[in-house]
Amino acid sequence: MTDRKQDNGKRVVVIGGGVIGCLTALYLHRLGASPVILEKGSAGHEASWAGAGILCPIHPWLYQDSFTHLIEDSLALYPELSNMLLEMTGISVQWRTTGLLIPFFEDDRIHHHDNALAWSERFGWPVERLDTAQTQAHEPTISAQVQGALLWPEVGQVRNPRLLAAARKALEICGVPIREQAEVTGLNENAQGEVISVTLANGETIAADAVLLAAGSWSGELGSKIGVSLPVEPVKGQIVLLKDKPGRVNHIIKHDDAYMVPRVDGHILVGASMERVGFKSGTTAAVINQLLEATYRITPGLKDAQIVQQWMGFRPGSPDGMPYLGPVEGHPGLWVASGHYRNGVALAPGTADLMSRWIMGEAPHFDLSDFRVNRPAIDKAKVGFPVV
């Protein structure tokens, strides 16, 4: 044993240095715990780096209502989080409100209009109905075929790499250890079935008062080592980055096969594929071309935009698209925050706040049974899980 429990606070081993692990560790530190992050590669370089940073579920009306409550709690924390990170680290996560626009075309494959309006009314999310002329006035590059749109003016976005860089710097300032190239290969239980330590690939054992499994798409594999069933699978997403003059796209635009996220400097992030190909990494010409074709159909005015970069990441996909949150029944000491699928950045501050308090002994203030680890699985197709 090369690492000992510390005396000055609950020792929490956080497995995974993505946005969920990093922010939860930061919030745990604020509550007086002594977290340590164990990361198999480099912290903040998997899904959390790759994501588009849209701070709203893609189609929230497809999920259970409890999911919207979780999202709302999380989004409410973004202003405070981004200010705290800016003050501590000097890094702006570029949290800003650009609004989300869903345009409608005659040949739409999925008709979201009525469900979207009903959901917005039920939860009090401001939404505007735009006709063709108004849509074109909002988005000058959009197709002449557009038949109107719905606009949620209060939807925001962040830049993921900045969020991760800021979280990392804040952790360093707080003295929270981030151990990289430290792959956890085992979860160890005592005779009572309590999880009391983890083992690393190099054979080292690290003791813990609590272990948080926040290993994104890899969480299921680790859980299975002690018989915990966590059906999280990677759903690969490819993204292509365009560059045009600032103002060519003003809102996040989402349609059937692509979304566009405008950055303040004229970059436009186009995403994202949904692929069930296991952990097969790398971008492919076929998928990037599909994304571009979809983009040019929605916003032909972007045909001249420069293609700057492309990348991919593995979304941690739970069957119902909702995260697993909380203690693991039958394995005291083990906690899970994983399976955030397409919404982990939006859900990150809420997850971190909730999980840190819960691990430190404060019961959650609303019913989280829809997010429990052993909930029944539902039909994946409902939340847009791609058919293999």
Ligand X SMILES: Cc1cc2nc3c(=O)[nH]c(=O)nc-3n(C[C@H](O)[C@H](O)[C@H](O)COP(=O)(O)OP(=O)(O)OC[C@H]3O[C@@H](n4cnc5c(N)ncnc54)[C@H](O)[C@@H]3O)c2cc1C
Nearest to ligand X of 222, 383 (CB atom): 222
166 binds ligand X (CB under 6 A): no
Q: DSSP of 51-79, one letter per residue? A: S--EES-SSGGGS-HHHHHHHHHHHTTHH
Identify the residue among 10, 29, 48, 270 touching ligand X (CB under 6 A).
Answer: 48
**Segment near ligand X (CB under 6 A), from 19-27, 79-87, 187-195, 280-288?**
19-27
| E strand intervals along 139-251 | 149-152, 156-157, 178-179, 184-189, 195-200, 205-207, 210-213, 233-243
Query: Is 147 in contact with 105 (CB distance < 8 Å)?
Result: yes
Given a contact cutoff of 8 angstroms between Cβ atoms, the answer to whether 153 and 250 are in contact is no
User: What's the rounded Cα separation, in Å, for the pair 371 and 357?
Assistant: 16
Say how many CA atoms lie within 13 Å of 73 toward its Cβ: 17
Alpha carbon distance 248, 267 (integer Å): 10
Among 138, 248, 251, 340, binds ligand X (CB under 6 A): 340
Q: Is residue 18 at the binding interface for ligand X, with CB under 6 A as the rule?
A: yes
By beta-carbon proximity to ligand X, the closer residue of 89 and 351 is 351
Between 317 and 333, name the residue whose CB sits nearer to ligand X.
317
Alpha-helical (H) ranges within the chain are 19-30, 47-50, 65-75, 78-89, 113-123, 132-138, 160-174, 219-224, 285-298, 344-359
Residue 40 within binding range of ligand X, rule CB under 6 A: yes
User: Is residue 313 close enough to count as binding ligand X by CB under 6 A?
Assistant: yes
Binders in 93-132 for ligand X, by CB under 6 A:
none
Cβ within 8 Å of residue 249, ≥6 positions away = 139, 141, 260, 262, 268, 299, 302
- CB of residue 196 vs ligand X: minimum separation in angstroms? 17
Which residue from 15, 166, 268, 270 is in contact with ligand X, where contact means CB under 6 A?
A: 15
The interface with ligand X within residues 50-79 (CB under 6 A) comprises 50-54
In angstroms, the CA 306 to CA 240 distance is 11
Q: Rounded distance, CA 353 to CA 377, Å?
A: 26
316 binds ligand X (CB under 6 A): yes
Using CB under 6 A, pick the residue from 41, 126, 140, 278 that binds ligand X.
Answer: 41
Q: How far apart are CA 15 and CA 28, in angstroms?
A: 14
* Count of residues near ligand X by CB under 6 A: 42
- With CB under 6 A as the contact rule, the residue among 26, 149, 166, 222 that binds ligand X is 222
Residue 342 binds ligand X (CB under 6 A): yes
C-beta closer to ligand X: residue 136 or 310: 310
Scan residues 256-275 and list those touching ligand X (CB under 6 A).
Answer: 271-272
Stretch that binds ligand X, among 26-34, 35-43, 187-195, 376-384 (CB under 6 A): 35-43
Rule CB under 6 A: is residue 233 a binding residue for ligand X?
Answer: no
Q: Which two tokens stand for residue 38?
A: 């164990």
Task: Tell me how far apart the terminal alpha carbons of the chain are, to the nearest angstrom.
Answer: 44
Residues at the contact surface with ligand X, assessed by CB under 6 A:
15-21, 38-41, 46-48, 50-54, 183-184, 214-218, 222, 237, 239, 271-272, 313, 315-316, 338, 340-346
